[in-house]
């Protein structure tokens, strides 16, 4: 999708194959392994997974990371849905 | 001595088809959503006699808008829009294959936000009495 770009901040704890740290650690790891292809195959696989996730609208990566929200509109909508859910739960609990 | 409860029961049942002296009706979660949807549908103006409209919040990430137009008892057009709330935006998924699934912006985003605000206010006041 056109809205998905590489500008997204990947939440903490989610492996980002594009980060410099990961690239450096992979290069470091590759020097310890005699068969470089093993490392690069694995790296390419990670890249493919990341790109597939982005194609899915970022849902796989971002779907359950509400703590990462910074947009006030989205925050407001989460607040509204949260209030509605609380009201429903309270009604059902009291019933 | 007159049995008032019996009298109320008989009159309410005759007038409204409901027995007011009995226990209040407890709604299930699905029924609550249906009630919310009735309220939500009115946010978008009067509903025509040949129109069915739904607008409701299904879960913490999903809002649905549905519209059906019937003619001579047959549905001649229908459209369902699923608005998925994601941390990066509101993804609109349409039942119409000619409508692109995309993150909404501009006026559509403003309208969606306004609709959710109105839904929140009305549902809280009219259904949950808050």
Q: Provide DSSP, A10-22.
A: PPTTS--TTSHHH
Q: Answer whether 0.90 is exceeded by the pTM.
A: no
State chain B's mean pLDDT as an integer. 87
CA nearest to A82 within chain B: B60
Q: Are A92 and B29 in contact (CB under 8 A)?
A: yes
Give the whole-angstrom CA distance, residue A52 versus residue A57.
Answer: 9
Give the whole-angstrom CA distance, residue B2 versus residue B20.
Answer: 18
pLDDT band at B56 (very low <50, low <70, confident <90, very high): very high
Q: Which residues does chain A have within 8 Å of residue B102's beta carbon, measured at their own beta carbons? A: 1-3
CA nearest to B128 within chain A: A87
pLDDT digits (tens, 9 = 90+) for A24-53: 554 554 444 445 445 555 555 555 555 554
Q: Helices (DSSP H) in B22-99: which residue ranges?
A: 29-41
CB contact under 8 A, B87 and A62: yes
Residues linked to residue B80 through DSSP beta bridges, in sequence order = B66
Q: Are B101 and B94 in contact (CB under 8 A)?
A: yes
Q: Which of A70-79, B15-24, B55-64 has the lowest mean pLDDT?
A: B15-24
| Two tokens, residue B57 | 């919040």
pLDDT digits (tens, 9 = 90+) for B69-122: 999 999 999 999 999 999 889 999 999 888 889 999 999 999 999 999 999 999
Helices B29-41 and A72-94 sit at what angle, rounded to 10 degrees? Answer: 130
pLDDT exceeds 50 at position A8: no
CB contact under 8 A, B60 and A78: yes
């Amino acid at each position: 999708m056109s809205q998905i770009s590489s500008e997204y901040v990947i939440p903490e704890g989610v492996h980002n194959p594009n980060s410099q740290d990961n690239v450096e650690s992979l290069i470091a790891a590759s020097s310890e392994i005699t068969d470089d292809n093993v490392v690069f195959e694995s790296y390419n696989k990670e890249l493919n997974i990341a790109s597939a996730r982005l194609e899915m609208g970022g849902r796989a990566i971002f779907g359950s990371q509400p703590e990462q929200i910074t947009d006030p509109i989205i925050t407001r909508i989460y607040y509204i849905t949260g209030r509605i859910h609380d009201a429903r739960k309270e009604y059902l609990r009291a019933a | 001595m007159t049995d008032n409860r019996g009298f109320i029961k008989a009159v309410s049942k005759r007038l409204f088809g409901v027995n007011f002296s009995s226990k209040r009706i407890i709604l299930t979660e699905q029924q609550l959503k249906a009630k919310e949807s009735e309220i939500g549908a009115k946010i978008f103006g009067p509903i025509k006699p040949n129109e069915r409209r739904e607008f409701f919040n299904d879960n913490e990430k999903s809002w649905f808008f549905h519209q059906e137009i019937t003619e001579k008892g047959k549905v001649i057009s229908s459209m369902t829009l699923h608005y998925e709330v994601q941390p990066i935006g509101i993804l609109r998924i349409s039942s119409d294959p000619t409508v692109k699934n995309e993150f909404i912006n501009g006026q559509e985003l403003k309208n969606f936000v306004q609709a959710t605000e109105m839904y929140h206010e009305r549902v809280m006041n009219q259904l949950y009495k808050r």
